[in-house]
Amino acid sequence: MTLKDHSKWPSLPTSCREVIEAYSYELTKLSRSLMSVLSVNLGLGEGYLQNAFGGDDIGACLRATFYPKCPQPDLTLGLSSHSDPGGMTLLLPDDQVSGYKYLKVIVGSP
């Protein structure tokens, strides 16, 4: 796993890069484990999903966003609907931030 375009990283605090690289490494390990478990439980063979998404050269994208609380939430528009690229998205829930919405697609529904 690499997130090595250091020109896009903040320079301060100095520990930021090390912490984010360690966190990203652990998330990638978790994703590999989840893909393995999902593959096996779907009857596809242990490495099926990982191989479908790049094998040992699997990519990772870490996005960190901060949305400060709006003093007038009734005036906000929010983000337009979008999807996250890739085979797996891991979200870090935050009890202090409400409002994340996702669309549950039911196969065969209009």
pLDDT category of residue 2 using cuts at 50, 70 and 90: very low
Instruction: Quickly list DSSP for the chain.
Output: -----GGGS--SSTTHHHHHHHHHHHHHHHHHHHHHHHHHHTTS-TTHHHHHTTGGG----------PPPS-GGG---PPP----SS-------TT----------TT--
pTM: 0.64
pLDDT (tens digit, 9 = 90+) per residue, 69-102? 777 777 766 666 666 667 787 777 777 666 566 6
pLDDT (tens digit, 9 = 90+) per residue, 8-61? 777 777 787 788 888 888 888 898 899 999 999 999 999 999 898 888 877 677
Give the domain ranges of the chain.
Answer: 1-76
